[in-house]
């Protein structure tokens, strides 16, 4: 563990370890995830030779608020707005969803996100519009007070103006492979929440499943480990049989110029957003793979020669996450759920997990 006060690595021994490190949306240019969603738990387990699966299934929320120049976490415009009658319109003001799905604006997230992505590419724009001008103002404020206030804060009057929206990385369905008790492939290591791959989401997440994954599986994990603690091996015996060497920072220097880290992060997000986003193909994936390999080599060299910092650790983990998403997408020769590849537009009859 990196002690942020002393900038030293500290070793903490434990009989049982839970990972609840969340998602990895920050590998993309725009995401609904907070700044801490850098995939640290998944990256650590992969380096420890634990099993990771189905990382290609990244859900993109179709309607994040578009703010020019914004990077990182975007404000989420809930699907309930479309559920209440919000209409998606393109640059020309056309309600375009009827061209993509008979359910129009009520189609599933992946279909709506792909439709918006296509409209943006065809028209050369960075967003589409969500039209709520026909809503009764008082009803909108009652149902969506936070959205109303956010739009108002940036000069959007929902009774007169349409809301600019664009897809953003939202949720990772894959992750650390676990069983029904949250056990990973590494002894006494457990994972719960978005960093885990429970199988509940399949290839295309439903929103309520996150509560099931976080609460039910976390409770199962707690009950299972609690019983093991009651009947298990005393901590002192574990310390005798599992020595951990001290962190050796000799020969390392202070981190290089921060511009090296920030530029590598910018490149990573650009590669992932442009080549490994909502719609993929073999050429884009191979191109992304080559660029991630370069970033990987450069960052590992920086990691070996510099003293650790939170920014460097997160960059290293995010590059690992990018690598896992790309490799999983390359291995899946079909379009299933959230993985849409124009070179393999059909769903395969063979259902398989991509395990790395």
Model pLDDT for residues 86-104, shown as the tens digit of each residue: 999 999 999 999 999 999 9
Q: What is the pLDDT of residue 234?
A: 57
CATH level 3 topology of 258-341: Methane Monooxygenase Hydroxylase; Chain G, domain 1 (1.20.58)
Q: Is 342 a residue whose pLDDT tops 60? A: yes
Contact present, 145 and 80 (Cβ < 8 Å):
no
Other beta carbons within 10 angstroms of residue 133's beta carbon come to: 14
Provide DSSP, 43-74: HHHHHTT--EE-TT-EEEEEEEEP-TT--EE-
Residue, of 139 and 238, whose pLDDT is higher: 139
Burial class of residue 254, CB neighbours in 10 A (0-12, 13-18, 19+): exposed
Residue 243: what pLDDT? Answer: 59
Two tokens at 165? 């929206």
Q: Which of 144, 30, 153, 280 is nearest to 130 (CA)?
A: 144
Total residue length of the chain? 356
C-alpha torsion sign, points 5, 72, 206, 324: negative
Q: What share of the chain is helix, strand, coil (3-state, %, to 5)?
A: 40, 15, 40
Residue for token pair 């942020």: 4
Q: What pLDDT does residue 292 have?
A: 97
Apex CA 4: angle with CA 3 and CA 10, to 5°? 10
Residue 255 tokens, joined: 């981190």
pLDDT given for residue 251 in this prediction: 47
d(CA 316, CA 82): 38
Please report the sign of the dihedral spanned by the C-alpha atoms of residue 22, residue 193, residue 60, residue 52. positive
CA distance 224 to 192: 13
The candidate with the shortest Cα–Cα distance to 76, out of 118, 107, 34, is 34
Each domain of the chain, given as residue ranges in start order, spans: 76-166, 258-341
Query: 337 vs 14, which has greater pLDDT?
Result: 337
Q: Which tokens sit at 123? A: 């028209």
Residues annotated as catalytic (active site), given as ranges: 109
pLDDT digits over 136-170, tens only?
Answer: 999 999 999 999 999 999 999 999 999 999 999 99
Looking at mean pLDDT, say which of 3-7, 115-119, 212-216 comes out highest: 115-119
Q: What is the pTM of this model?
A: 0.91
Q: What percent of the chain has pLDDT over 90?
A: 78
Asked if residue 193 has pLDDT above 50, the reply is: yes
C-alpha 143/C-alpha 65 separation (Å) is: 17
Architecture of the domain spanning 76-166: Alpha-Beta Complex (3.90)
Judge whether residue 213 has pLDDT over 70.
yes
Sign of the four-CA dihedral 74, 79, 81, 87: positive
Residue 340 belongs to what H/E stretch? strand 340-341
**Which token pair is 170?**
């939202």
- Is the fold of 76-166 the same as that of 258-341? no
């Amino acid at each position: 563990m990196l002690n942020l006060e002393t900038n030293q690595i500290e070793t903490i021994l434990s009989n049982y370890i839970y990972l609840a490190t969340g998602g990895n949306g920050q590998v993309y240019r725009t995401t609904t995830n907070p700044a801490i969603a850098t995939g640290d738990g998944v990256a650590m387990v992969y380096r420890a030779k634990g099993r990771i699966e189905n990382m290609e299934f990244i859900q993109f929320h179709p309607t994040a608020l578009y703010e020019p120049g914004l990077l990182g976490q975007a404000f989420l415009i809930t699907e309930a707005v479309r559920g209440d009658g919000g209409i998606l319109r393109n640059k020309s003001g056309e309600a375009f969803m009827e061209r993509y799905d008979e359910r129009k604006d009520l189609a599933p997230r992946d279909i709506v996100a792909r439709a918006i992505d296509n409209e943006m590419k065809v028209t050369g724009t960075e967003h589409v519009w969500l039209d709520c001008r026909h809503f009764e103002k008082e009803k909108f404020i009652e149902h969506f007070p936070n959205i109303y206030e956010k739009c108002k804060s940036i000069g959007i009057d929902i009774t007169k103006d349409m809301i600019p929206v664009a897809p953003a990385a939202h949720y990772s369905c894959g992750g650390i492979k676990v069983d029904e008790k949250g056990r990973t492939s590494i002894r006494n290591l457990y994972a719960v929440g978005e960093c885990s791959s429970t199988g509940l989401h399949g290839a295309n997440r439903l929103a309520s499943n996150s509560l099931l994954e976080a609460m039910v599986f976390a409770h199962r994990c707690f009950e299972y480990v609690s019983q093991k603690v009651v009947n298990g091996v005393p901590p002192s015996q574990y310390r005798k049989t599992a020595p951990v060497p001290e962190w050796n920072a000799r020969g390392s220097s202070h981190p290089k110029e921060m511009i090296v880290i920030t530029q590598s992060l910018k490149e990573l997000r650009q590669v992932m957003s442009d080549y490994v986003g909502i719609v993929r193909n073999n050429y884009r994936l191979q191109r992304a793979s080559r660029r991630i390999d370069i970033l990987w080599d450069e960052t590992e060299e920086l990691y070996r020669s510099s003293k650790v910092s939170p920014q460097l650790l997160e960059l290293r983990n995010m590059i690992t996450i990018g690598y896992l998403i790309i490799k999983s997408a390359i291995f899946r020769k079909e379009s299933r759920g959230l993985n849409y590849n124009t070179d393999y537009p059909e769903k395969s009859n063979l259902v398989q997990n991509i395990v790395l």
